[in-house]
């Protein structure tokens, strides 16, 4: 039996995807989580898939370009600005897109080497300090990380360096 593809009935397609997007901090990235809901009508399923793929690509490109204006410390503002930008962006202006919504959630990225290039410098700096100096510097770095809403990194830094000579 052959299956025939007919016109799609429409309906909202919901997707969640993630990507690393650059911040204005040299070499540091946001880890961005996107939630996209788009209602595409009047086309067959294969065309719906192509339209959704194009929209995902365009969302990522627009977000990556706009995110370069924000530091990791401005995460909340960046989330709001990126969401507003994407909601107002003309990338959803497609004759078959009837309705859409998009949400962005940002966190500092930990996993990619290119986003962690500064970690080696911090490690080398701390290693070069005398143990008496190191505790004060660790406390100051941890306080700065907490002030930037990253207590997880502060805890890891202190934990990793506690007891190092």
74-114 tens-digit pLDDT: 888 999 999 999 999 888 888 888 888 999 999 876 544 54
Q: Which is it for the CA torsion 86, 63, 37, 102, positive or negative?
A: negative
Q: Please tell me the pTM assigned to this model.
A: 0.59
How far from 3 is each of 7, 8, 47, 50, 128, CA to CA, in Å? 13, 14, 17, 20, 68
How many angstroms separate the CA atoms of 147 and 149, rounded?
5
Q: What is the pLDDT of residues 122-146, one digit of tens each?
A: 777 787 788 888 888 888 888 988 8
How far from 94 is each of 14, 52, 90, CA to CA, in Å? 17, 11, 9
Q: At residue 117, does pLDDT exceed 60?
A: no
Q: For residues 17-31, give the mean pLDDT.
A: 88
Q: Pick the residue with more confidence: 11 or 107?
A: 107
Q: What is the mean pLDDT of the chain?
A: 81
Give me the pLDDT at residue 120, please. 66
């Amino acid at each position: 039996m052959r299956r025939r593809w007919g016109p799609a009935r429409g309906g909202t397609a919901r997707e969640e995807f993630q990507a690393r997007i650059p911040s204005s901090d040299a070499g540091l990235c946001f880890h961005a989580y996107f939630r996209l809901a788009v209602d595409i009508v009047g086309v067959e399923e294969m065309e719906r898939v192509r339209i959704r793929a194009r929209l995902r690509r365009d969302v990522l490109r627009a977000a990556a370009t706009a995110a370069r204006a924000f530091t990791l410390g401005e995460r909340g503002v960046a989330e709001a600005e990126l969401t507003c930008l994407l909601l107002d962006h003309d990338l959803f202006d497609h004759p078959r897109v009837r309705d859409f919504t998009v949400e962005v959630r940002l966190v500092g990225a930990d996993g990619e080497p290119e986003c962690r290039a500064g970690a080696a410098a911090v490690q080398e700096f701390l290693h070069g300090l005398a143990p008496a100096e190191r505790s004060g510097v660790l406390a100051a770095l941890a306080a700065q990380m907490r002030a930037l809403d990253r207590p997880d990194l502060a805890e890891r830094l202190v934990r990793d360096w506690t007891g190092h000579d």
